[in-house]
Amino acid sequence: MNYQVLARKWRPHNFTEVVGQEHVVKSLINALQHNRLHHAYLFTGTRGVGKTTIARILAKSMNCENLQDANPCGVCKVCRDLDEGRFLDLIEVDAASRTKVEDTRDLLDNAQYAPNQGRYKVYLIDEVHMLSGHSFNALLKTLEEPPPHVKFLLATTDPHKIPVTVLSRCLQFNLKRLLPSQILAQMEFILHEEKITFETPALKLLARSADGSMRDGLSLLDQAIVFGNGNVTSEDVNAMLGTVAEQPVEDLLTALARADALAILDKINDIANTQSDFGEVLQQILQVLHRIALVQHLPSAIDPDFDTEMLSSLAALLTPEDVQLYYQIALVGQKDLELAPDSRSGFEMLMLRMLTFKPVTGEPVAHKPELIVATKTVIPVAPAAITPLTKPPVAQARDDNDWTAIIAQLNLNGMGKALANNCALDYIDDKVCCLLIDSNIIRGSLAEDLLHKALQAYRGTPLKLVFNSQKTALDTPAVQLLKANENRQQAAVDNIHADKNVQAFKQQFDARVLPDSIEPV
């Protein structure tokens, strides 16, 4: 006998066997049980999620001679003929190869005649969006007033190309992309039934590579079985897909957290020796960083498809600020792999960029992320491993520098002065000016640029400007001015109430003071 691929051999034959589309299956079963079948159904979704499969099961259920709880029995003549492709009343059409209006008219000419074998004559049109405009018009006429014995089952990956006049006459079901865990469970079931040995991590990698498509996942599984000579192992799957295991990704991120450039370059060299695709390595780094960010904000969000111990370890080792920075650099840097002289050098520069722009680790966590304004672009501070910023003692810096007095000499106005007034001075020298700012204050790049240039002119050196976000209240010039105004206002109010004339007016004429009318002179 010819070998039958897993995707065809294990294709569901009833609603119970369908994986991951419970919302669609439930609706169809209810319709069958209560005899409320619509004359036209439209199944949409990406490739390999079960559109045509569910349509065939529905066609079988409509005509089955012995339904079992709305499921086709699978043993009657109708079920056997339909499974073997010999059921005359199921007319399957690939719209991609029959787009002309003549094809559609020929197809529908026989719709008026009664079924040959079953209860209904079912037209299953796959990739229906490929029909021409005239073909849709021809189909629409029958959809508007179909014979009672005719049912239409339409499937498409692109429902937006279907005219709204057709959509409005169909019950539409959107099939979901399958989760890796759902694909994994089906793979394990099939391999147990096929008596094929496997490693679960290998199946997890195949399930993630399927990208939500059961058919793609089973095709990859077929390939892995052949590649592994009847076994499915992690080593074989990694070699087949040209990917690396998660361990190098964990090592890279661990070395990154420790600012260990040597370990990063050594690990890249190990990856290169396996002839792996650095683009795939970068994709895995993005996936792991995404899961780490979720775990840091919601510990219960650990994905069982990943190494939970690895995620927990990295989530504790990396700060949330680091994770967000690394993810953004990796995401934007994907194009660098194509532009670089070779993928390895592009990947090395990307990892070194993460290391270079890693927030300074000498500050408390609450101060992160620290930012430098070198030009009009806001970039992260260089790490201590490359060019450490030696911070003077805070007490001495604050005793020797009066930020309010400095602002008065900066000749700033507008948004630049407003930004300066909402900062507090941490320290300043000829190389760096470090300012503290409330994390709720919104900074604009233009305001930062104005303040930066004014400070450089004030010190006469090309100093860098660093902002440390604070969650605690700061005693900034703006706050000091507000307090001073409040004190002056309160003093004016107290003086008014203490004035003897005012008190006399209150006693003699029952007068009262309007608080909003009092202004300090």
Is 198 in a helix, a strand, or coil? strand
Q: What is the pLDDT of residue 276?
A: 64
Sheet holding 121-126, edge to edge: 90-94, 121-126, 150-156, 40-44, 171-174
For the CA atoms of 184, 186, 192, 198, the dihedral, rounded to the nearest 10 degrees, stands at: -20
Whole-prediction pTM: 0.56
Q: Strands 432-438, 423-428: parallel, antiparallel or unpaired by DSSP?
A: antiparallel
Give, in order, the Cα–Cα distances in Å from 325 to each of 7, 259, 280, 333, 469: 41, 14, 20, 12, 16
Sequential pLDDT tens for the chain (521 residues): 577 888 888 999 999 889 989 999 999 999 998 888 999 999 999 888 999 999 999 999 999 988 888 889 888 888 888 888 888 888 888 887 776 777 777 777 777 788 888 889 899 998 888 888 888 888 888 888 888 898 999 999 888 888 898 898 899 999 998 888 889 999 999 999 999 999 988 898 888 888 889 999 999 999 999 988 888 998 888 888 766 555 678 888 888 888 888 989 988 888 887 666 788 888 889 988 998 898 888 877 666 556 677 778 888 888 888 899 999 999 988 888 888 888 889 999 999 999 888 766 544 333 333 333 334 333 344 444 434 444 443 333 334 578 888 988 888 887 888 888 889 998 888 888 999 888 777 777 888 888 998 998 888 888 889 888 887 677 888 888 888 888 888 888 888 888 888 888 888 877 888 877 777 77
Q: What is the pLDDT of residue 295?
A: 86
Is 173 in a helix, a strand, or coil? strand
Q: What is the pLDDT of residue 328?
A: 92
Q: What helix, strand, coil percent values describe the chain, rounded to 5?
A: 55, 10, 35
Residue 232 sits at φ, ψ, to 5 deg, of -120, 105
Rounded distance between C-alpha atoms, residue 497 and residue 495, angstroms: 6
